[in-house]
Amino acid sequence: MKETSLTDRQERIAGFKQSLIDRAVIGVIGAGRTANEVIKNLALTGFRSIFVCDMDSVSDTNLPGTVLFRKADVGEPKARLAAEGFERLAVAEGAKARWLCADACYGLGEGVLRRCDLVINCVDNTQTRLYISRICKLLEKPCVDIGISGFDWTHMASSPDSDKACYACVISPRDAHEALKRVRNSCDVTLSEAAKEDRAATIITAAAMAGGKAVETAIKILHYEEREDRSYDPFYGVITSYSAASGRTESFRVPLREGCENHLSYRELGGIRPSGLSADDELGKVLERVRELYGEGYSLSLEKDCVPVSNKAFIRRAFCKCCQAPIEVYRPQFSLSDEDLLCEDCRAAGKIPLLPSRAERIYRFSLAETEERILGMKLRELGVPALHILEFVSGDESRLPLFLELDGDGKEENI
C-alpha cells in the first residue's frame, strides 16, 4: 500500500506542488510575535529550510504571544529559539533552520538573503522594514511584509520585478523621515535607545492571522514564480488590511510611486561579482585583491548609494560625552553605546554620558589614503557582516561601481 504523505491533505488542493515547498529556502526577518506564527506555519506546511534573523532575547512579556518560546527560554536569543522551534515542529524530515542574532540592518550579510528564495519581513520598526525591502529589490527577491497593531494586521507582497509597487512606494514621507532619524541623528553618534524599544499594543490573534496570510502568500509566490499560475496569484503590490473594529478585510492595489528609490536591482547596476573574500580578511588585503582583479583606484564604500536607509560609518575619533576630551574609538558607529564614548577617566569616575558626541566618521577606504592601523583591521571589525555584498567605487566617473560578494564566508553560513 502506498504510504500517505504527512502533507497529503494540502497536496489535494488543486495545483498544489509540495515539491516547491520542499526545495524552497525562506528568510524570516524578526523572531517576535508575527515571526513565531510565520515559522510555525512554515514548519507545519512542510518547509525544510529557513533562515531567521533577530537581535533580541526573550523577555517575560514575550511569552503569552509566542508559540515557539517557553518560560525557561527567558534571556536566550529569539533567533536561536525560533530556529529550534521550527526544527521541533517541522513535518519535513531533516528540516533545518539557520539563525543569526543581529540587527538585520547592520549584522546581516546581503548574500544570506541572496541564497533565500523569498523573504518574509516580520520586524516591528520602519527602518528595518525599509532596509529589508530595499535589499530584496536589489537582489530581485520577492518579499512579504506583515505588520500588526492591536487586533489589526496588514500584509503586502513585493514583486522581484521593478514594475510593481513595493513597500517603500507605500510609506509616507513622514514615516520615512522618522526611520532615517533613528540612524542619522545629526547631533550625536550613538543610536537612540528609545528608538529600539518595542512597546506597541499587539495581541496573538492578530499575529496568528497575519502569520497565516504571510505563509499562504509565500506558498503562492513559489507556485506563481514557477509557472505563473493565476490561481496562485500572490497579488504583488496589493495591500491587504484587516480592521477588527469594522470586521472587514480590505485590499487595494498600490500605484507605483514615481521617484521611489527602491526599484533598481544589482543586475541593472552591473551585477554581483564573486570575490573569494571573507569578512575575516583584512581591509588592506581586500583592497589589494580588488586592485589585482579590477585595476587601480577603487575604494571600499561602507555606505552604498543604492541603499539609502542605513548608516554604516566607521568612527575613528570622538569626543568624550562628559568632558569633551578626544578619544580613539576605531569601531563601527552602529556598535557604539553612550558608555563607549566616555574617556577612561570619566568612565573610571562613574560619570554619566550626557553630552552629544562629535565624531570623525569614515565611509570610504582606499590603499592610498587609509591609515595603516585601519588597513590591518578585519572587515568584520569595520562592521561588515559575513557574506555581505560590498560596493567599491572608482574616482574615475566613467567606471561603474563594483559589487563584490564575500563568498569566502559561504562555507559556514551558506544556506
- Residues lying near Zn ion in the complex (CB under 5 A) are found at 166, 168-169, 260, 262, 320, 322-323, 325, 343, 346
Starting at the edge strand found earlier in the chain, the sheet holding 326-332 runs 326-332, 314-319, 359-362
Distance in Å, CB of 239 to Zn ion, minimum: 13
HSE-CB at 295 with a 13 A cutoff on CA atoms is: 8
Distance, CA of 159 to CA of 142 (rounded, Å): 5
DSSP string, 49-100: EEEEEE--B--GGGGGG-SS--GGGTTSBHHHHHHHHHHHH--STT-EEEEE
Which residue number, 132 or 343, has a Cβ lying nearer to Zn ion? 343
Which residue number, 322 or 389, has a Cβ lying nearer to Zn ion? 322
Distance in Å, CB of 329 to Zn ion, minimum: 13
Contact 148, 33 (CB under 8 A): yes
Distance in Å, CB of 92 to Zn ion, minimum: 34
Distance in Å, CB of 168 to Zn ion, minimum: 4
Distance in Å, CB of 340 to Zn ion, minimum: 12
Distance in Å, CB of 232 to Zn ion, minimum: 23
Distance in Å, CB of 71 to Zn ion, minimum: 42
Which residue number, 346 or 362, has a Cβ lying nearer to Zn ion? 346
Which residue number, 146 or 346, has a Cβ lying nearer to Zn ion? 346
E-assigned strand segments in 209-280: 238-243, 248-253, 272-274
Contact 55, 102 (CB under 8 A): yes
Contact 263, 362 (CB under 8 A): no
* Selection from 81, 37, 326, 353 nearest residue 202 by Cα: 37
Enumerate the H helices of 115-256 as residue ranges.
126-139, 167-170, 173-183, 193-196, 204-227
User: Letter for the amino acid at 95?
Assistant: A
Distance in Å, CB of 320 to Zn ion, minimum: 3
**Phi, psi dihedral angles at 162 (to 5 degrees):** -90, 0
Which residue number, 353 or 383, has a Cβ lying nearer to Zn ion? 353
Which residue number, 72 or 354, has a Cβ lying nearer to Zn ion? 354
- Grid cell listed for 320: 568624550
Which residue number, 25 or 256, has a Cβ lying nearer to Zn ion? 256
Which residue number, 302 or 341, has a Cβ lying nearer to Zn ion? 341
Which residue number, 157 or 402, has a Cβ lying nearer to Zn ion? 157
Distance in Å, CB of 345 to Zn ion, minimum: 6
Spell out the long-range contacts of 132-136 with Cβ–Cβ below 8 A and sequence spacing 24 or more. 132/29, 132/104, 133/158, 133/166, 133/167, 133/168, 133/262, 134/168, 134/261, 134/262, 134/306, 134/307, 134/308, 134/309, 135/110, 135/307, 136/160
